[in-house]
Amino acid sequence: MGRYLLTRLAFALVLVFVVSSAALLLTRLAPGDFATMQGVDLSVEQREQLRERLGLNRSFAAQYLSWASHAIRFDFGQSMLYSRPVGGLVKERALNTAVLAIMALLFATAIGIPLGIYSGTRSGIGRSLIRVLSVIGVSVPPLIGSLALVFLAARTGWFPVGGMTSAAGIDLTWSQWIADLARHVPLPALALAIPMAAALERLQSEAIESASRERFVAASRARGVDRARSILRHAWPVSLRPVLGLYGVMIGTLFSGSFVVEVVTSWPGLGRLMFDALKARDLFLVAGCAATGALFLAAGTLIADLLLACTDPRVRAGERA
Amino acid sequence: MNRQPRALLSVLLIGVIGFVGWRWYNSASTEQDNATEVVVSEQSTRGGSITVSLRSEPRSFNRLVDRSVPVDMFTFLTNSKLVRVNRATQELEPGIAEKWTVSPDNRTFTLTLRDGVTWSDGTPFTSADVVFTFQAIYDPRVESLLASSMMIGGKPVTVTAPDPKTVTLTMPAPFAPGLELLDNLHLVAKHKYEAALKAGKFAEAIGVATPPPDLATLGPFVLKSYVPGQRIVFDRNPRYWKTDTAGFQLPYLDQVILEIVPDQNAELVRLQSGQFDMLQQNIRPEDIATLRPLEQQGKVRLIDVGASLDPDAFFFNLRSPYWAKDPRRDWITRKEFRQAISHAIDREAFANTVFLGAGVPVWGPITSGNQKWFSPNIQRYGYSQARAKEILAGLGLINRDADAWLEDASGTEAHFTTIAYRGNSSIERGGAVLRDELKKIGIRMDVVPLEQGVVIQRMIKGDFESIMFLYTQSNLDPAINSDFWLSSGSAHIWNMNQPKPATDWEKQIDDLMVTVTSAGDQAERKRAFDGIQKIFAENLPVLYFVTPRLYMATSTRVGGLTPATLRPQLLWNAERMTVRQGR
C-alpha cells in the first residue's frame, strides 16, 4: 500500500508540473501579452518598460527555466495582474473553491446515489420520473442551471442571490459567519451538484441493475436475506466500482473551479481567478491555477481509487495479486 | 441736518447695500450651481449604507500605477483632489485647494490649501504632500501611468511648496487646460509612503494586501476591509474636510459597500431583488425594458444620464505600408470610400437595432455629452445609398460581373475584414448592422470577433484592415486627450506614433492642437477645436454612427444623486448621497 501511495504521489507531482508547464506555454503562445492587454493607454516606451520589468521580452526558454527552477520549490512567482505572490492568491481562492466543491459533492451524492439505487431496483412511474429528471439534469448546461437557480432565489428569497458571505460578514463571530456561509452555499453548490447528481443517478442505476442480476445476489436472496438488505449489502458495493471511477473525475473538476457557476453566483473561487488571469495573460497566475487544478485532479483520482479499494474486495485482491 | 448723523446714516446705508449685495451674490452663485447640477431625489437622511456592484477585482489601490475601474472607484471614494472637474457641470471647482491665482503668462499657478485638512490617520495635510505626490509620479522606478499625462510637452511640471499652505505649479510650456490637469491627481501621504518611494517599493505600498490602517487617505470614505473576490467595504471618514451648506460634515452615508459581481445578468438580478442599491456602470439597452415595470412599481429608479461620451468607433488601417502590395490600395484608404460608408449607414436604424432605440446618431468622436467641446456644425453624411454608390463609382467601384458585389477596374472585389471585440454586445450587433448595410451598396465586409487583447495587439502592431472598437475618453478636454488627436500619439488609433504627420490634414490637426493645448483664451481654443472636428469629419479617419444614451439604475431608497456622463456616473459625488433606512 505504501509503495502504491508513493507511486501515486510521484504521478501527482509529475502531473502538476506537466499541466502547469503546458498552461504557461499555451498562455505564452496565445496572441498578446500582459503589456499588450493594458490597452492603448500605455505609450510604446511604457509598454516596453513594463515588458522588461516583467521579463516578457526574454525568450520563452529563459522565462520557462527561471519559472521552473522556482516552481519545483512550489514558488509559482508573482502575479502580474495583482502584484502579489501567486501562491497566496491561489490559496485564498482554492479554499473557497474547496468549500463549494465539498458541498457540491455531498449534494450530488445525497441526491444521485439514493435515486440511482431506487431507479435501478424498482419499476413503475417513480423510476420513469427519476429517469426523465436525470436526463434533464444531465442536459442542462451549468450556465442555464445556475441562472435558473439565481432567478429562483431572487423570486422566492429562499437563498441569497449570490456571493459567499453577506456584507456584514466581517463583523460576525465565527459561528455567525459559518451560519452566514451556510445560507450562501446551497445555491452555487446545487448549480454544480444537479448535473453531477443526474450523472451519478444514471450510472448508479445501471450499475446496480446489472449487479442485482449477479448470482451472488440471487444466492443471498435464496439464503433468506430480504430484498432491500440483499441489494444494499451485496449488490450495491459491487455496483460502486464505475460510480467511484466517476468520483475521481468529479473531484478534479469541482476542485479546479467552475468558472461559469462562480461567475453567475459571484463565488470567489479558482475558476474566476484563472479566467481573469487568462484574459490578462498573467502567465504565472495561469500556471499556478492550472497546477492547483491538476493537484486536485490527482488527489481526486487517488481518493476515488482508495475508496474503490475499500468497498470492492476484488480491487484489493487484484492489488495483492 | 447735523453732519454726524448723516455720516452715520451713509455708513449704515453702505453696510446694508453691501450686505444685501453679498447675500444676493451668494444666492445667485448657489442658483447657478443648482441650475446646472440635477440632483435626483434629495433626501435628508443621514447615516445608512449602500451596496454598489463592481464587475472586476481590484488589482491595486494605487491610482498612480493602475487605471482599472476598481481603482478608479476606490480613488473616488477615498481621495480628495486639489481641484476637480465637477462631473455634472463639467466646470473646474475648488477642492482641498480653496483658491488659486494664475500668473500673467498663464504658466504658474499658486494654490492656497484649506485650513484643518488632515489625512484619515489624523496627520495634517500640507503642501509637502503635493510635492511628494509629484515626485512619486515622476520617479521612473514607480512607472506611474499618470507620468505622461502629468507632463506638458514631455516635460514635468515644477512643483514647489513655499509654505505648508501654498503650492506653486509651474508649467514647462503654456498649457491651456491649466489646473484641469489636477483632476487626475491622486494625492498620496508623504509621511506614509516616503520610505517606500526611497526603497523603490512605492507601487506595492498601496496594494490590495496593504492593511487598511496603513492607507492614509483624504476622501469622504476610508477602506474598512477588502475581501478578495467578494467585496470592498468603506466606512465614513470622520476626518473628512468637507461640509454641506448647512455646515454638516460630509459624507451623509456611514458605509459604502462595493460587491464584486463579474456577471452582468447576476448584477441585474441582485438589483431587482433589492440586494443592490446601484450598479457600477450604465445598464445595457436590453435591460431597460426589464427594469421599466420595477420602475413603475417604485422599486427601481432609471436615470437617463444623456448621450455617452464614448461612441463605438470604426476605422481602417491608414498606414500606407500595410496596403503597399494590396490590389485594393487605390481606393481602400481614400477618404471618399469612408464617406461613402458613412452615407450608406442608416443611423436611426443602427440606433434601433444596436441600442434598441436608446441611442443618439453621432458624426464625430465628440458627442453632445461633452457640453464644452461638442461642435454641432460639422459635416454630416445623410443616409443615402444612391449617394454612397455614386461616390464609390467615382472611385471606380462598380458592379462589373452582375453579382452582388462591386469591383474595381482590376476586377478586385470591394471587400474588407473587420475585427471586433468578442463579448461586447453593442460592438457585435453594430458589426452585423454595418455588414448588412454595406451589402446593400455592394461592399462585402467580413466581421471577425476576437478577444479584446488580440484586437488591441493587432491594432498596436498595425496588423488589421479595419476595426470596430470602443475607445474610452478619460477627460473632457481634448488637450488632455491629445494622444488621440496628434499624429505622434499612442492613441492615434488609425495610424499610431507617426514620426511626422503622414497626411496634410493630420498636419493641420497637429497645428491646431498647438492652439487647443496652449492658447490662454477659451474661445480661441474652442474655435481651433471646432476646426479640428471639421477636418476630422471631412476625412473620417474614424467613423462614428451612434452613441448610446446612458441609463443608470438605482434603488429608490438612494437620494442625493448627481448623475453625470463621465465615469463613475453616480459615485463621483458619493459624499452627498443619502439613503432611506430599511429596504
Record the cell numbers describing residue B426, joined without a space: 453593442
- pLDDT value for B502: 95
Cβ within 8 Å of A, B 540-569: none
- pLDDT value for B31: 34
Pick the residue of A33, A34, A37, A43 with the most B CBs within 10 A to test the interface with B by mutation: A43
- Is pLDDT larger for residue B54 or for residue B36? B54
Instruction: Tell me what percent of chain A is helix, strand and coil, each rounded to the nearest 5.
Output: 80, 0, 20
Instruction: Tell me if A21 is assigned to some domain.
Output: no
Q: Are B148 and B119 in contact (CB under 8 A)?
A: no
Instruction: Tell me if A138 is assigned to some domain.
Output: yes
Instruction: Tell me if A3 is assigned to some domain.
Output: no
Cβ within 8 Å of A, B 330-389: none
Cβ within 8 Å of B, A 18-77: 31-32, 36-37, 39-44, 46-47, 49-50, 53
Q: What is the 3-state secondary structure (H, E, C) of B481-502?
A: CHHHHCCCCCCCCCCCCCCCCC
Euclidean distance between CA atoms B490 and B503, whole angstroms: 17
- Is pLDDT larger for residue A52 or for residue B26? A52
Q: Are B582 and B394 in contact (CB under 8 A)?
A: no
**Burial of B476 by CB count in 10 Å (0-12 exposed, 13-18 middle, 19+ buried)?**
buried
Q: Torsion over CA of A6, A11, A17 and A19, rounded to 10 degrees?
A: -150
Instruction: Tell me if A39 is assigned to some domain.
Output: no
Q: Is B382 left (phi over 0), alpha (psi -120 to 50) or beta?
A: beta
Q: Nearest CB to B454: which of A31, A147, A269?
A: A31
The reply to whether B265 touches chain A by the CB within 8 Å rule is yes
Q: What is the pLDDT of residues A275-296, one digit of tens each?
A: 889 888 899 999 999 988 888 8
Q: What is the pLDDT of residues B290-340, one digit of tens each?
A: 899 999 999 899 999 999 998 989 999 999 999 999 999 999 999 999 999
Q: Do A83 and B203 touch (CB under 8 A)?
A: yes
Q: What confidence category does residue B6 fall into, taking pLDDT thresholds of 50, 70 and 90?
A: low
Q: What confidence category does residue A314 fall into, taking pLDDT thresholds of 50, 70 and 90?
A: low
The reply to whether B10 touches chain A by the CB within 8 Å rule is no
Q: Strand pairing partners for B54? A: B260
* Residue in chain A nearest B460 by alpha carbon: A40
Chain B contact set for A44 (CB, 8 A): 490, 497
Q: Do A167 and B231 touch (CB under 8 A)?
A: yes
Q: What is the pLDDT of residues B214-264, one digit of tens each?
A: 999 999 999 999 988 899 999 999 999 999 888 889 999 999 999 999 888
- pLDDT value for A307: 78
Residue B61 has pLDDT above 80, yes or no: yes
The interface pTM score, or ipTM, of the predicted complex is 0.78
| Alpha-helical segments (H) within B395-450 | 425-440
The reply to whether B491 touches chain A by the CB within 8 Å rule is yes
Instruction: Tell me if A92 is assigned to some domain.
Output: yes
Angle at B474 between CA B470 and CA B475, to 5 degrees: 130
* Residue in chain A nearest B266 by alpha carbon: A264
Give percent of chain B with pLDDT exceeding 70: 92
Q: What confidence category does residue B22 fall into, taking pLDDT thresholds of 50, 70 and 90?
A: very low
Determine the structural domain holding residue A106 and report its residue range.
86-320
Q: What is the pLDDT of residues B117-150, one digit of tens each?
A: 999 999 999 999 999 999 999 999 888 888 888 8
Q: Are B153 and B165 in contact (CB under 8 A)?
A: no
Residue A63 has pLDDT above 80, yes or no: yes
Identify the DSSP state of B124. Answer: B
Q: What is the pLDDT of residues B562-574, one digit of tens each?
A: 999 888 899 999 9
Chain A contact set for B231 (CB, 8 A): 163, 167
Q: Strand pairing partners for B221? A: B236
Chain B contact set for A263 (CB, 8 A): 262-263, 266
Euclidean distance between CA atoms A191 and B350, whole angstroms: 38
- A209/chain B closest Cα distance in angstroms: 42
Q: What is the pLDDT of residues B485-522, one digit of tens each?
A: 999 988 899 999 999 999 999 999 999 999 999 888 89
Q: Do A268 and B230 touch (CB under 8 A)?
A: yes
Q: What is the pLDDT of residues B373-420, one digit of tens each?
A: 999 999 999 999 999 999 999 999 999 988 889 999 999 999 999 999
- pLDDT value for A315: 65
- pLDDT value for B26: 40
Q: What is the pLDDT of residues B431-472, one digit of tens each?
A: 999 999 999 999 999 999 988 878 888 898 899 999 998 877
Instruction: Tell me if A42 is assigned to some domain.
Output: no
CA-based radius of gyration for chain B: 27
Record the cell numbers describing residue B546, joined without a space: 451612434
- B262/chain A closest Cα distance in angstroms: 6
The reply to whether B233 touches chain A by the CB within 8 Å rule is yes
Mean pLDDT (chain B, rounded)? 89
Q: Element (H or E) spanning B93, and its range?
A: strand B92-94
Q: Do B145 and A41 touch (CB under 8 A)?
A: yes
- pLDDT value for B555: 94
- The contacts of residue B306 (CB under 8 Å, 6+ apart) are B368, B369, B549, B550, B565
- pLDDT value for B322: 95
CA B375 from centre of chain: 18
Chain B contact set for A50 (CB, 8 A): 143
Instruction: Tell me if A26 is assigned to some domain.
Output: no
Identify the DSSP state of B118. Answer: B
* Residue in chain A nearest B203 by alpha carbon: A83
Chain A contact set for B456 (CB, 8 A): 32, 36-37, 39-40
Q: Element (H or E) spanning B582, and its range?
A: none
Euclidean distance between CA atoms B45 and B274, whole angstroms: 19
Mean pLDDT (chain A, rounded)? 85
Question: In terms of Cα–Cα distance, which of A263, A289, A290, A283 is closest to A37?
Answer: A283
Euclidean distance between CA atoms B33 and B28, whole angstroms: 9
- pLDDT value for B27: 38
- pLDDT value for B418: 96
- B39/chain A closest Cα distance in angstroms: 28
- pLDDT value for A176: 86
What is the domain-level CATH number for residue A181? Answer: 1.10.3720.10
Record the cell numbers describing residue A273, joined without a space: 481567478
- pLDDT value for B512: 97
Q: Nearest CB to A167: which of B143, B257, B497?
A: B257
Q: Do B260 and A268 touch (CB under 8 A)?
A: yes
Record the cell numbers describing residue B75, joined without a space: 480613488
* Residue in chain B nearest A90 by alpha carbon: B228
A116 three-class SS: helix
Identify the DSSP state of A268. Answer: -
Average pLDDT over residues A210-219: 87
Q: Nearest CB to B259: which of A40, A163, A279?
A: A163
- Is pLDDT larger for residue B314 or for residue A49? B314
- pLDDT value for B32: 35
- pLDDT value for B566: 86
Chain A contact set for B457 (CB, 8 A): 31-32, 36
Euclidean distance between CA atoms A288 and A290, whole angstroms: 5
Instruction: Tell me if A130 is assigned to some domain.
Output: yes
The structural domain count of chain A equals 1
Preceding peptide of B251 cis, ω within 30°: yes
Average pLDDT over residues A118-134: 90
B281 three-class SS: coil
Q: What confidence category does residue A10 fall into, taking pLDDT thresholds of 50, 70 and 90?
A: confident
Q: What is the 3-state secondary structure (H, E, C) of B176-206?
A: CCHHHHHHHCCCCCHHHHHHHHHCCCHHHHC
B317 three-class SS: coil
Q: What confidence category does residue B33 fall into, taking pLDDT thresholds of 50, 70 and 90?
A: very low
Q: What confidence category does residue A206 fall into, taking pLDDT thresholds of 50, 70 and 90?
A: very high
Cβ within 8 Å of B, A 191-230: none
B468 three-class SS: strand
Average pLDDT over residues A6-25: 87
Pick the residue of A83, A181, A265 with the most B CBs within 10 A to test the interface with B by mutation: A83
Q: Are B161 and B131 in contact (CB under 8 A)?
A: yes
Q: What is the pLDDT of residues B184-222, one digit of tens each?
A: 899 999 999 999 999 999 988 998 889 999 999 999 999
Average pLDDT over residues A147-163: 85
CA-based radius of gyration for chain A: 24
Q: What confidence category does residue B1 fall into, taking pLDDT thresholds of 50, 70 and 90?
A: very low
Cβ within 8 Å of B, A 140-159: 147, 150-151, 153-154, 157
Question: In terms of Cα–Cα distance, which of B476, B524, B293 is closest to B374?
Answer: B476
- pLDDT value for B9: 56
